[in-house]
Amino acid sequence: MNRIDKIQKIFISLKMQALEQRRKFTTLLIVFILPVVFWASLYYTAGEEQTPITVPTLNGDVKMFVPAKKSYPLDLGLMAVSWTMAVVAFFAESGSVKKDRRLVLCGYSSWQILFARLILLTAVALFTSMIPLILFVPILLPKHPWILWLALFIAGLIALEIGLLVGALIPRYTEGVLTIIALIGIGMSIQGEAAKFFPIYPARQLFRSALFAEEPLVFPFVREALLIFIILIVVTIVFWFFRIRVRKVSFNV
């Protein structure tokens, strides 16, 4: 198979998956809006009293005092992007098993199907991360808006891999979506040292640094997020390969 055939198969798979996702637009919009509304309700009802928060900077972690409305509702912005991308990825994965198996029978490789899916979901993450940025910049007045966008985008990328992995492991919609809600909700609520073990932790730290730090710490969190993303891709490919492989049965005459 030449290179042009491989690229053409990726493009065809990408087109099929894009058409499938268009049918779920309303559901995905609701999933995105819920955390945003929750964040807005907390932000506008929280007081102005000062509360301590640890912010990573180039010179190390610095404890700052910020208004309460800018402290605990912070992670809900990332949660909106994370929930949306995880659910989008889960639907793209679990709802396409039969179609993907047909593609395998037509000569497609599992990596071509998954690569096309990653291209589509990365584009969705890029778009999804821009929406909260439009809301947060005029309201939160971050020190570094584009680093804030980078944190949102990274959260979306890691969350889509979580969604793909859940889709490869749990085929049913109800159990899969509940698992994603539990993972993202609990993971974004964890504080302290335990929070470092959740995959979206680098995006959380980058988000705080972009919002409050005069000299934000960027590269270590981007590097850590990239490593987590690659690990999740490898694990997902392994499970997805076994999920969609077609077993050949030989009959002895």
Model confidence over 136-163: pLDDT tens digits? 788 778 889 999 899 999 999 999 999 9
**Tokens 């679990």 correspond to what residue?**
94
Contact 114, 236 (CB under 8 A): yes
> Alpha helix (H) ranges present in the chain?
3-22, 25-45, 74-94, 97-105, 110-140, 145-169, 173-189, 201-212, 219-244
Contact 160, 89 (CB under 8 A): yes
Average pLDDT over residues 111-138: 80
Average pLDDT over residues 86-98: 77
Give the residue with greater pLDDT, 12 vs 51. Answer: 51
Q: Above 70 in pLDDT, residue 3?
A: no
Query: pTM, whole model, 2 decimals?
Result: 0.83
The pair of structure tokens assigned to 95 is 């709802």
Q: Above 60 in pLDDT, residue 168?
A: yes
Q: Above 70 in pLDDT, residue 82?
A: yes
